[in-house]
Amino acid sequence: MIQIDVELPDRPGELAKLAALLGDSEININAISAESGLGRTYMSLIVDQPAKARGILLKAGYGSSEKTVLVVRLPDRPNALATLARKLGDAGVDITSIIQLESIGGHAQLALGVDDLAKARGLV
């Protein structure tokens, strides 16, 4: 799965512009995470057409980057995330981003950005 990270000005209406740009191009946002600070908003998106989204964002002047993320399924209960994070951390894998995709049937599905995808895959 591909995660697209976008930097936006931190002001009213910017999310609407970005969402409309993607929506008008028939790109669906499947998951989103955002944080603002120091006048900027940093948004992480999982979309159904990442290559098309990347081109549209570039053409519209948005700075963006992308990374392959690891999708994991955890029991939806206390300490499940702590157990996984500890296992990755103990192996020297740094979790750089996390987006919850969905919770269904007693499980939570997460998209994890990590600094060593191959190593992380071998641990989960």
- Residue 114 shares a structural domain with residue 74: yes
- Residue 108 shares a structural domain with residue 51: no
- Residue 48 shares a structural domain with residue 75: no
Residue type, 97: S
pLDDT of 97: 94
| Domain span including residue 18 | 2-67
- The pTM assigned to this predicted structure is 0.87
- As for how many domains the chain has, the answer is 2
pLDDT less than 50: residues of the chain = none
pLDDT of 39: 84
What is the spatial order of strands in the sheet that 107-114 belongs to?
70-75, 107-114, 95-104
